[in-house]
Structure 1
């Protein structure tokens, strides 16, 4: 029975993937930050653990409980929305601490267990790593960093027998917009030079949910791709079209299109 550890399983992609892999016969260790979510995961039959990926001691402690591991899915993350220069330094650090440094910390801690099984690391990135939009600069930058880190890890871990896949979802119907909206409201303020565009900031917080695919589609796609471990797995609305536009449209055109889209 394959042993799989998934971070950020309270809802959305993490929860859907945990359910898909459990149904496929994996022994799934599912983590979440809140005790309520951990209890709910346990009630579904998962090996559930409370975990904040920015807590290095907790990460090490959980990894020590898993001496062997077939798959690590680094899903924990969130989206910080707002004009980039309006976001306080502490909030920027928190964005990267969760989306990038937590991912690396988790992978480092689990590496011995993954090597024993010649395992697979799956990093949940985003199409936003490639298609950067106004008012999502912090989130896009953190996912661009995940993209770069995944490329580096793929090459560095290959000699150790560990493979790496990066998932780049497009629009997915999760709680991302709800959480991003709360984050945006903490950033928006009347003294900002971008105050006249406050409704556009709110619009960007909701944009990723428009025509979103069900998270279950992502979970099933990940479950189906584990055996072949592709370099990049794209799933969801826009996950293929948007990178194509970035590749082929002149940069100036793309800037104008996105600026107009968000009212700048």
Structure 2
């Protein structure tokens, strides 16, 4: 029975993937930050653990429980939405602590267990790593970092027989937009030069979920890919079209379209 650890399982992609892999016969260690979410996961039959990926002590304690690990899925993350220069340093640090440094901390701590099984690291990125939009600069930058780190880890872990796959979802119907909207409201303030554009900022917070694919589609794609994982797995609405636009449209044209859409 394969053993899989998944971070960020309170809802969305993490929860859907935990359920799909458990149904496929994996022993799933499902983690979440809140005690309430952990209790729900335990009630579903997962090996449930509380985990804040930004807490080194918690990360090390969880890794110590895992003598061997077949799959690590770094899914924990969120989106800080708002004009970059309106975001306080604490918000920017929290964005990278969770989406980037937390991913590295968990992978580092789990490396001995992964080596014991010639395991697989799955990093959940985003097409936002490739197509940067206004008002999501912090989130896009964090996912661009995940993309670069995944490429570097793939090469560095190859001699250790540990593989790396990056998942780049498009629009997915999860709690992401609601959480991003709450983050956007925290950034909005009347004295900002972007205050007159506040409805466009709110629109960007909602955009990640508009007509989104079900998180179960991402979970199913990850499950299918596990036997022969590609370097990058794209799934969900816009996951192929948006990177294509970012690659082939002239930058000036693309930026002009995005500026027009978001009131700039």
Q: How does 1:184-263 map to 2 (within 5 A)?
A: 184-263=184-263
| Cα displacement (A) at 1:208 | 0.8
Structure 1 match to 2:9: 9
State how far apart, in whole Å, the 2-side matches of 1:49 and 1:241 are.
Answer: 37
Structure 2 match to 1:48: 48
| Gap regions ≥5 residues in structure 2 | none
Structure 1 match to 2:131: 131
| Cα displacement (A) at 1:261 | 1.0
TM-score (structure 2 length as normaliser): 1.00
State how far apart, in whole Å, the 2-side matches of 1:63 and 1:224 are.
Answer: 26
CA shift digits 1:26-79 (9 cap, x unpaired): 000000000000000000000000000000110000000001000000000000
| Cα displacement (A) at 1:107 | 0.2
| Cα displacement (A) at 1:22 | 0.2
| Cα displacement (A) at 1:97 | 0.1
Structure 2 match to 1:150: 150
State how far apart, in whole Å, the 1-side matches of 2:66 and 2:219 are.
Answer: 23
CA shift digits 1:184-211 (9 cap, x unpaired): 0000000111111001000000001111
Structure 1 match to 2:82: 82
| Cα displacement (A) at 1:25 | 0.3
Runs of 4+ in 1 over 2 A off after TM superposition: none
RMSD over aligned Cα atoms: 0.4
State how far apart, in whole Å, the 2-side matches of 1:8 and 1:257 are.
Answer: 34
State how far apart, in whole Å, the 2-side matches of 1:255 and 1:182 are.
Answer: 26
State how far apart, in whole Å, the 2-side matches of 1:261 and 1:118 are.
Answer: 46
State how far apart, in whole Å, the 1-side matches of 2:209 and 2:4 are.
Answer: 28
CA shift digits 1:69-117 (9 cap, x unpaired): 0000000000000000000001100000000000000000000000010
State how far apart, in whole Å, the 1-side matches of 2:86 and 2:103 are.
Answer: 26
| Cα displacement (A) at 1:263 | 1.1
State how far apart, in whole Å, the 1-side matches of 2:46 and 2:209 are.
Answer: 28
State how far apart, in whole Å, the 1-side matches of 2:208 and 2:51 are.
Answer: 26
| Cα displacement (A) at 1:153 | 0.3
| SS at structure 2 position matched to 1:18 | helix
